[in-house]
Amino acid sequence: MANSKYSIKVDEVGVKFFLSRQEKKKKKEFWALKDVSFAAKHGEIFGVIGGNGAGKSTLLKIIAGIFPVSQGNVYVKGNIAPLIELGAAINPELTGAENIFLTGSIYKVPRSEIMEKFENIIEFSELRKFINVPVKNYSSGMFIRLAFSSIIFFKPDIILIDEVFAVGDEVFQKKSFEKILSFQREGATILLVTHDAALINRICDRVLVLNRGKEVYLGEAEEAVDFYHKMIKSGEEML
């Protein structure tokens, strides 16, 4: 994807799992995704919607490199901030400050850059009084604020978001949302998975609709949301 206007390209991707049937000791194939293709541009906010089990989170995880693909190819250009399973990189035995450096090292951020961003991360997280306390003593809200702040400050080219705007209180949610949009204005690609149709309509450029692991619509946000609502009313959506 050298010199491409796209930062993410998904080409006929499929993800297959095997479900065991204990009574017969046989494995049954289950395709969480099948033949999904799209490309997201630099600076684009690309939405993904669909019902429970549609494959939305699986799609983000293959782009993040968490799940391998069973078929097709995924191409990414740039460093990724995966706001998918917030806190997965956090060690509860370490302090908040130590976890900022740990998270940075996991995402291969140079120590000099972590030190440069350190004060801003603490300020944004609103955890200065507790930054030298072991994370195991944090509340769930404090834990998520630390995890979010530690990831989002390392200049991501691609941000993968899976329903993370329930971060902290309403003021922190608004601040987090504005921070993510500031990266988009600087050219980052945002891939957003959410059930919030109003949010999709408000900020997304294009939207992919998934149903039962398959791509059923790709287009402008308003048209995609309308298609999704009609699909729900017709009873076609997988609930």
Predicted local distance difference test score (pLDDT) of residue 170: 76
Domains in the chain (CATH in brackets) are 1-78+157-166+184-239 (3.40.50.300), 85-156 (1.10.8)
Predicted local distance difference test score (pLDDT) of residue 5: 87
CB atoms within 10 A of CB 165: 17
As averages over each run of 10 residues, the pLDDT of the chain (239 residues) reads: 80 88 68 95 94 91 92 93 79 96 88 94 95 94 88 86 68 83 91 88 93 95 94 72
The alpha carbon torsion through 42, 67, 102, 143 (nearest 10 deg) reads 90
Predicted local distance difference test score (pLDDT) of residue 239: 44
Nearest of 174, 170, 118 to residue 146 by alpha carbon: 118
CA separation, residue 61 to residues 64, 85, 125, 153 (Å): 5, 10, 25, 21
**pTM assigned to the model:** 0.83
Annotate 76-88 with DSSP letters as a single string.
E-S-EEEESSTTT
CB atoms within 10 A of CB 193: 23
